[in-house]
A and B are shown apart, each in its own frame.
Chain A
């Protein structure tokens, strides 16, 4: 009896966490799913059917474009930066500076970030004014900063440092002996990357890219602060669905949109889990 209780004790520690998940993940998910198939308390498929309408599809496509492009930009640039950090000097001052900077920048989203970009690249932003005065080029153009290109630029600002943070451990896991052993066995630098480092890093790289994708896909605050007109991406579409209940004539369209986002993120995270499982076969 006591023994069984003692064995159960560690799982008892999970209770607050499970409670948290229930309140903030499971219950909202259920509400979203149920809500998506209801209108005024009556079951309906209208909301889900509305996902196929032009404006929603457009927002979904733009959301995917923003997420995919910032994930790729973040992964490539962040990956290279992380590699530079690892090779420059282990435990050096540079590394400490870059990692702590990335830690801060990766969290630096929302109104602050949007404002920072508006202040530099907006209509009368500092850089816009400077370039206009000195070179005579109008950086502001027709307001690209407040549409998809702007969102991509601003998101990259936190995607790149996030990549550095999530990809560094994988790079650290690459042992010098592997390189030296490969060299000793006759491998050129290219062959080493192709046959050893590449295969070892690829799952972590793709996994990090998916994580970045999900991160961008679900981001709201930055885009909300940046874009005040139109609904170029899904989270903003949900905002207007929630605030103006008559959008497309569907009161519960917001729930259906949220469901769509959940599905996309679930697909991405499944891919992520598969990648992790692949590597755990040979990594402890």
Chain B
């Protein structure tokens, strides 16, 4: 094993097929289907309690499904015990072995695989370098910060060159800055080693920023699996639309595949209501506000967010909407300014609820 070049392993496909898991009456997973392409990083996003951790534990073999299968490559691993699944996992809670140094922690899996001493030490050192902690190799977990501990945990999981890497909210205990930094680092390392990775999080920014595709879960099922951009611009269900990013829900009428919203007529997307009453899903940036004495809407609040400004307005029929304005326009808006609200969209998702 050369010390310089990082050994990588061909990524494998991972399939979760119809996974069901019930805990004394609570349906944690209710028929979860999810396929990860070889070498891909998929983020699993969803509200608390939707079954993300359960899904990950089933893949790792730390828990057994009531029904359904887990397939890695072309091997069904559903009934393979966790210690023979060849998966690297980073837990949400700190999980370094406290009686071992960072170096020994990373060596742990290699020792179990009977890799000889010098090879083992070299590889562990290399992994610690990869996560930027080579200088802390002799420290115990209690002497490392939370972020450093999670890095060591990542190095430990990667050291065994697992077929699949599983990350369960590895960053949730860290502060915002370390979190963003470590998140990018995880992505860099993942691209470098090319391991198929399932990354669980309930932080949408995290999910959208580092993954190839994002799976949104709700009540034990997968709502949508799509690249981040598509998830944002073309959510396929009302749940995804509301969960990812900010969304206005505007009641409207649909006729012949076209919805009338805020005086404009727009095409509806495939999975929308085709006729009758519905609720249009409109992003803040799809609503442009302009100061106008003839405008029937009124500004309620202006919040400057750095690159953009959010403007909350009330329409003539009493609806509150969140819109977005750029710097120049925003400067002219204050509370009570009469404004016109214009819809800028090619098509919209109109849901029944």
Contact = CB atoms under 8 A, between A and B. Distances in A.
A1 to B, nearest CB: 39
B248 to A, nearest CB: 42
A178 B89 CA distance: 12
Contacts of A185: 83, 88, 108-109, 112, 156-157, 160
A180 B91 contact: yes
A196 B153 CA distance: 16
Contacts of B156: 181, 185
B257 to A, nearest CB: 50
Contacts, number: 70
Contact of B83 (A187, A196, A199, A200): A187
B84 A282 contact: no
Contacts of A42: none
Interface stretch (B95-103, B170-178, B322-330): B95-103
B131 interface: no
Given A183-B82, A282-B140, A178 B95 contact: yes
B191 interface: no
B233 interface: no
Provide the main secondary structure of the chain B interface: mixed
B41 interface: no
Interface in B104-162: 108-109, 112-113, 140-142, 153, 156-157, 160
- Most interface-central of B88, B89, B93 (chain A CB within 10 A): B89
A187 B83 CA distance: 6
Nearest to A184: B89
Contacts of A3: none
Contacts of A184: 60, 62, 82-83, 85, 87-89, 157
Contacts of A284: 142
Nearest to B98: A282
Contacts of B91: 177, 180-181
Contacts of B62: 180, 183-184
A191 B109 CA distance: 11
Contacts of A282: 98-99, 140-142
Given A175-B93, A181-B89, A186 B98 contact: no
Interface in B167-192: none
A62 B113 CA distance: 49
A177 B92 CA distance: 9
A133 to B, nearest CB: 50
Contacts of A283: 98, 142
A6 interface: no
Contacts of B60: 180, 184
Contact of A281 (B87, B97, B113, B140): B140
Contacts of B109: 185-186
A168 interface: no
A187 B112 contact: yes
Interface residues of A, number: 21
Interface in A156-191: 175, 177-178, 180-188, 191
Contacts of B94: 177
- Most interface-central of A178, A181, A182, A283 (chain B CB within 10 A): A181
Contacts of B160: 185-186
Nearest to B63: A180
B112 A191 contact: yes
Nearest to B84: A186
Interface string B11-52: 000000000000000000000000000000000000000000
Contacts of B82: 180, 183-184
- Most interface-central of A184, A196, A281, A283 (chain B CB within 10 A): A184
Given A180-B62, A181-B89, A283-B142, A186 B113 contact: yes
A186 B112 contact: yes
Nearest to B86: A186
Interface in A184-220: 184-188, 191, 195-196, 199-200
A188 B93 contact: no
Contacts of A196: 97, 99
A187 B156 CA distance: 14
Contacts of B87: 184
B108 A182 contact: yes
A199 B153 CA distance: 20
Contact of B95 (A180, A188, A195, A281): A180
A185 B88 CA distance: 7
Given A184-B83, A191-B112, 8 more contacts: A175-B95, A181-B89, A181-B95, A184-B62, A184-B87, A186-B84, A186-B160, A282-B142
8 contacts: A180-B62, A180-B91, A185-B83, A185-B88, A185-B108, A186-B86, A186-B160, A200-B97
Interface of B: 60, 62, 81-89, 91, 93-95, 97-99, 108-109, 112-113, 140-142, 153, 156-157, 160
